[in-house]
Structure 1
Amino acid sequence: MPGVARLHVVEGVSILRPQAAIFEKTLKGFGDHQRARHLAPETIRSRARIVRQVQAFADGYPWEPVWNHALFDRWSAVQAKRVTTSTLRGYQGDLALYLAYLSDPAYEWPQVCMETFGTFAGFALRDLNAVRHAQEYMGQPSGNRPLSRAEIKKFFGQMDPEIKRLRAAGHKGALAAARDLAMFTTTYGWGLRRREAARLETHDWRRQAKLPEFGDYAGLAVRWGKPAGPGQPPKRRMVISVWPWAVQTVRLYMERIRPQFYLDRPDDGVMFPTEREEMISERAFNQRFQHWRELAELPECLSPHCLRHTYVTRLIEAGYDGQFVTEQVGHSHAATTAIYTALSSDFKNLKVREFLDAAEEAQLAAAFTRADAEAEMDDDFSDQAPGELVGAGRPKEM
């Protein structure tokens, strides 16, 4: 069987603008290579976008000498000013995968490039000048963090008055604002990722026999969890409802707000629809969070994922078992859940106070026990005649 390159570049057939044409054919072959691993279309498109970006930055093609370590350093330096460390590492990884594919002799792109252009750089990225994944967490410490209790109060507290103001003014944004309140309550109240919340449908809610007080909203079946690895399907999990106030908000939304999106069209079962008759996108999800964050005058570094961090922290502070929290948020390891946890100063002070009080109470109890024992001994001695105490500690003579 011929290599992939021979299937795209047929011998004896002239190519118009061969440089650009073969570059596009390498990207098509790279896309087929990823589709064979069942990767998501968006992942394939994003990787191709990075390769095109580097090609435009280099003003040359991967088989030319311009694709060298110096190019990679310059491109990475420019990106480092725009994106986070973890994002930059992802970009570098995407580029490395393309170059590894292009350089693999099994696909015959090196032979085709040598025959067509007389050159092939064979450049591959090395750890020497790439961002190293030295630890599990590479996010921004100031951004991916739980919101404080005051910040949560500001974020959600200003939504209801704003909804009432928009409704009183007859503003069409009142309906979307009411949806946002339920959407971010669900994200926070069930510890969801952005995609998990945006793709919810009404049939994802479940009853739980042991939680009858929550009715139809005692559990949430998450169908779009983070995949276990590349090419893997979304992980599913069941999240048990824990906060009555969150359940009440969702119930009111389902009964009073959501039906207004379907006054003139069939109900499609989308949990958080838009006025354009579609499911809210992840990009719009970010934009709506930014809108409410700015109204609440909260730090710009905060993102929707911070609500998930807050959920984990509040459960730990409430005394829920660590394994339960790990399963609620869909982590494979408890160590990952620990990264999400940042206990508040008030909670830590409370725990220290409880420990000190418990230690002091134990010391007092021990002192009282000793005092009681000494008092009993004194009573026993006082009941005996003086002669009976003489030789009490010696063994009897034979």
Structure 2
Amino acid sequence: MASHTPLPGPKPIARLGEQFLAHLAVERSLSHNTVSSYRRDLTKYFSHLRAREVMQISDVRPEDVASFAECLEGMARASVARSMAAVRSFHAFVFEEGRTGANPAADVRPPKIPSRLPKAMDIDDVAALIAAGGAGEGPAPLRDRALLEVLYGTGARISEAVGLSVDDVDLAGASARLFGKGRKERVVPLGGYAVEAIDAYLVRARPSLASSGPGTPSLFLNTRGRPLSRQSAWAIIQNAAERAKLSVHVSPHTLRHSFATHLLQGGADIRVVQELLGHSSLSTTQIYTMVSRDTVREVYSLAHPRALS
């Protein structure tokens, strides 16, 4: 298990924080990345409590929680909301465990984050990105093309894609097994382009990459034969976007957005898209159904018999 920096602050409160994080990891089966994010947020919060000379959990007052929220001003609203969610969840856990008689964070609300339309790429830009990623000689371009085809062809999160093992991919059945947040498993279809790209990579590239390493079941490998990291996968996408001379910002999440948007534009049912994305809530998927006013007006003008004068 990866080591981590102990939580700061008064020891009684820090011990409760460690118990809370263990609860998230073991009982709620949250991912390592999510628990690490909560640890960073609680580190800031506990340092704030120590600075205010709050030594016991029973001494925490609503104004202590509110003052921490004020200290977060200037950060991105999403970061503030996440930090406050960590603080609220911690205090709810402590209260439910009977460690304190009141929940000082119960009435402290995080800021409301406005809904934002995800940015989807044009289909031609996606094709150009994948082509640029697979251009060149040697095993790396074959790997990069396969990775890009998987990201766009399945809507996988970057962590899900680099987490694939060889056995998770069934080329004969044209499917892949992904492990999402909390290790929740789902099986998604692989399109013909993705199957072709993965097959070429497995036959012509992966064996030479694997020969440089200690041996691993991971599907995507780096030049040292070790599992490809999320950071390296991000760099692959950025380099492909530069070579394709794309004017739009491209990230792993851009490909996931594009996957969902293009499916819905093609007539896919939103509940199917929800399943493919691994969203636990339909409301998370529904953001992809929002379209611009220009698109609405264009469709209206073309489809309604009385639209034109």
Tell me the TM-score range normalised by the shorter chain: 0.7 to 0.9
Aligned residues: 294
Q: Mapping of 1:77-156 within 5 angstroms?
A: 77-85=70-78, 87-102=79-94, 106-107=98-99, 124-132=104-112, 140-141=116-117, 144-156=118-130
Q: Structure 1: give runs of 5+ residues left out of the alignment.
A: 1-18, 111-121, 168-173, 208-215, 228-233, 361-398
Asked whether the 8 Å contact 1:145–1:310 carries over to 2, the reply is: yes
**1:127/1:22 CA distance change after superposition, 3 Å:** closer
- CA–CA distance in structure 1, aligned partners of residues 69 and 194 of structure 2: 44
Unaligned runs of 5+ in 2: 1-8
The answer (yes or no) to whether the contact 2:213–2:224 under 8 Å persists in 1 is no
* 1:38-91 per-position Cα deviation (integer Å, ceiling 9, x unaligned): 434724443233222123345245447996555544543454533342x42221
Deviation at 1:279, TM superposition (A): 2.2
Take 2:281 and 2:18, find their aligned partners in 1: how far apart are those partners? 37
Q: Does the aligned pair in 1 maintain the 2:133–2:239 contact within 8 Å?
A: no
Distance in 2 (CA, whole Å) between partners of 1:104 and 1:330 is 30
Report whether the alignment pairs 1:47 with 2:47. Answer: no
Secondary structure (helix, strand or coil) at the match of 1:239 reads strand
Change (3 A) 1:276 1:99: farther
3-state SS, counterpart of residue 238 of structure 1: strand
Give the alignment partner of residue 261 of structure 1, picking from 203, 206, 209. Answer: 209
* Offset of residue 259 of structure 1: 1.8
Partner residue of 2:161 out of 191, 197, 201:
197
Q: Indicate if the aligned counterparts of 1:179 and 1:253 stay in contact, CA closer than 8 A.
A: yes
Cα contact 2:69–2:80 (8 A) shared by 1 = yes
Query: Quick one: structure 1 residues 306 and 217, their matched pair in 2 at CA, closer, same or farther if it must change by over 3 Å?
Result: farther
In 2, Cα distance between the equivalents of 1:256 and 1:324?
Answer: 34
Mapped pair 1:221 → 2:177: yes
Matches within 5 A, 1:1-398: 20-34=10-24, 37-40=27-30, 42=32, 43-58=34-49, 59-63=51-55, 69=62, 72-85=65-78, 87-102=79-94, 106-107=98-99, 124-132=104-112, 140-141=116-117, 144-161=118-135, 164=136, 167=137, 175-206=139-170, 216=172, 218-222=174-178, 224-227=179-182, 234-242=183-191, 244-265=192-213, 267-293=215-241, 296-300=245-249, 302-331=250-279, 336-341=284-289, 355=303
Cα deviation 1:290-330 (Å, max 9, x = unaligned): 44445545444x43122122112222333445444443333
Cα root mean square deviation, aligned: 3.9
The one-letter amino acid of 2:167's match is: H
Q: CA deviation at 1:196?
A: 1.8
Alignment deviations for residues 338-389 of structure 1 (CA, whole Å, 9 cap, x no partner) = 3224669998788657746xx69xxxxxxxxxxxxxxxxxxxxxxxxxxxxx
Cα 1:217–1:351 change in 2 (3 A) is: farther
Q: Partner of 1:13 in structure 2?
A: none
Distance 1:342 1:186, change over 3 A: farther
Query: Distance in 2 between the 1:272 and 1:328 partners?
Result: 21
TM-score by length of 2: 0.74
Larger Rg: 1
Query: TM-score, normalised on structure 1?
Result: 0.60
**AA matched with 1:54:** Y
TM-superposed CA distance for 1:261, in Å, is: 0.9
Q: Residues 106 and 351 from structure 1, CA distance in 2 versus in 1: closer, same or farther, beyond 3 angstroms?
A: closer
**Cα distance in 2 for residues equivalent to 1:315 and 1:104:** 43
Residue 184 of structure 1, CA deviation: 1.8
Q: Percent identity?
A: 20
TM-fit CA distance, 1:272 = 0.9
SS of aligned partner of 2:177: strand
SS of the residue corresponding to residue 187 of structure 2 reads: strand
The question of whether the paired residues in 1 share the 8 Å contact of 2:130 and 2:145 is answered with yes
